[in-house]
């Protein structure tokens, strides 16, 4: 259990570091209930754009980072 918590905290630190590097939006949200885990999503949008989402959930807090990049041709 403690290992899982430490991994989630490390994921949150890594996500925050990545957010600073790519000039992303960072959201902190409360969660109703307990949740542990991390998420990565890559979504192709219109007009040659790609939206990336990183999320880490630790106990009652969700840390979400979202940024958009233009596809390189």
pTM of the full predicted structure? 0.70
Domain count for the chain, please give it.
1
Taking the C-alpha atoms of residue 58 and residue 64, their distance in angstroms, rounded to an integer, is: 12
| Residue 73: predicted pLDDT | 62
Q: How many CB atoms lie within 10 A of CB 1?
A: 6
pLDDT tens digits, one per residue of 28-49: 899 888 888 889 999 998 888 9
Chain centroid offset of residue 5 CA: 16
Which runs of consecutive H residues, i.e. helices, occur in the chain?
Answer: 2-22
Domain membership of residue 50 as a residue range: 2-70
Nearest-CA neighbor of 55 among 33, 34, 25?
25
């Amino acid at each position: 259990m403690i290992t899982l918590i430490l991994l989630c905290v490390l994921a949150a630190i890594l996500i925050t570091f990545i957010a600073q590097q790519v000039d992303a939006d960072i959201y902190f949200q409360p969660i109703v209930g307990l949740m542990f885990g991390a998420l990565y999503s890559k979504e192709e949008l219109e007009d040659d754009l790609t939206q990336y989402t990183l999320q880490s959930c630790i106990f009652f807090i969700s840390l979400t980072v979202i940024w958009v990049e233009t596809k390189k041709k």
